[in-house]
Amino acid sequence: MARATGSPRSPNASRCSDRTIVNQQHLANRATPLDHEQVHIQRGPRSGLPVIVAVHSTTLGQAIGGCRLTTYSRWTDALSDALRLSAAMTDKCAVAGLPNGGGKTVVAIPPGHTLDPAARRAVLLDVADTIAVLDGIYATGPDVGTGPQDMAVIDERTQYVFCRPPEAGGSGDSSTHTATGVVAALHAVCESVFGSPQLAGRRFAILGLGRVGARLARHLAATRAELVVTDIDTSKRSVADELGATWLPPDEALASDVDVLVPAALGGVFTPDTVTRLRCAAIAGPANNQLDAPATAALLHRRGIVWAPDVVVSAGGIIHATAVELHHETSQQAAARVLRIGDTLARVLRDAARAGVTPAAAATNLARQRLQPSTDTTSREDCR
């Protein structure tokens, strides 16, 4: 991990550390127990915006997780997201067989607040200084609201960053590799549910046409699958027109009669209410934290809907980026690891069927095994 461990601290680290470190005692009154190793909250000195970095676990190695820059009505909602997403990242890394733990950076933008280029740069430099304080236990990459060029700005102040642009020595946009991993997962789901991995002729509904969702739509259209697509941004309807896909409003697309539902936007879409309206046989997509609560997995299970855990399905981008930038593997080696998402998901679905539990429970069991190496009888290399 040449860029991620054992390097000198940023010259600004001590100055930043005097500003803000929120320990577990500050969060003790939260409704759920805090099992994170560290949570740092800082009011950015340049931007004035809340910068939150949550480190959930370093049991397997350096914590990694994206930098989310998006609007929140309350900054405490951003804190909740950081805690939830960093914990999910620990499971994602463990299930993927990565020698890393989970973390997350979230910056809360107030409603109606617009970042011009100068303000955006100020936010990213605040993020960089907050990460530098952690002295290498956490590295960040792109997430909702950020991309490779933003990682280049963060790289100006701290080396603990990945998915920088190729011209800056990074692996670039991770959406291609995330989409590749989702396609591998869709093959595994179709084989498990329908008895064949073929995608041609299957009917898919893609909820969200961002970078990953649009790539998935184009790939599935090329395989001659039938497509329903949607996005809250109606300008994305041009993708439907380009591909000959059926465009529906988000609520209608969610409840459309399809073989596989592919959530590809923000999380929390599956709730006790929405589960009752689903008309799909399976769900597999790149959106993080798709369930509003863990108990919703059981509701899907009781309805006979196979839910492919998002910690498995969405791991392609992080697998590729860490393999290339942190572990210095070739692009071919990294691509092979991404394709193994299909094998991992197939294992999770088999384990769930054999044990009579939900796929979510089977994925959690696999993660716990890998977080306790002494009790894991499968080598990490075999898992990847």
> What CA–CA distance (Å, rounded) separates 89 from 315?
9
Q: Is 285 annotated as a binding residue?
A: no
* Max Cα-Cα span within the chain: 59
- Closest listed residue to residue 188, CA positions, set 16, 41, 309: 309
Q: Is 65 annotated as a binding residue?
A: no
Residue 381, classed as helix, strand or coil, is helix
- Asked if residue 231 lies in contact with residue 213, where contact means CB atoms within 8 angstroms, the answer is yes
Q: Which active-site residues does the annotation give?
A: 104
* Strands 306-307 and 203-207, sheet pairing: unpaired
- Closest listed residue to residue 253, CA positions, set 368, 265, 32, 117: 265
Question: Strands, E, within the chain: which ranges?
Answer: 38-43, 50-55, 63-71, 101-109, 138-142, 203-207, 226-230, 246-247, 257-263, 279-283, 306-307
Q: Is 212 annotated as a binding residue?
A: yes
Q: Is 3 annotated as a binding residue?
A: no
> What CA–CA distance (Å, rounded) separates 370 from 374?
9
Exposure of 70 by Cβ count < 10 A (0-12 exposed, 13-18 middle, 19+ buried)? middle
> What CA–CA distance (Å, rounded) separates 83 from 53?
9
- Token pair for residue 184? 């591998």
Q: In 97-222, which ranges are continuous DSSP H helix? A: 117-133, 148-155, 175-194, 211-222
> Which neighbouring-strand residues pair with 262?
206
> Which neighbouring-strand residues pair with 247?
229
> What CA–CA distance (Å, rounded) separates 181 from 285?
10
Residue 40, amino acid: H
CB neighbours of residue 165 within 10 Å? 17
Q: Is 208 annotated as a binding residue?
A: yes
Q: Is 85 annotated as a binding residue?
A: no
List the binding residues: 208-213
Per the annotation, binding residues for NAD(+) are 208-213
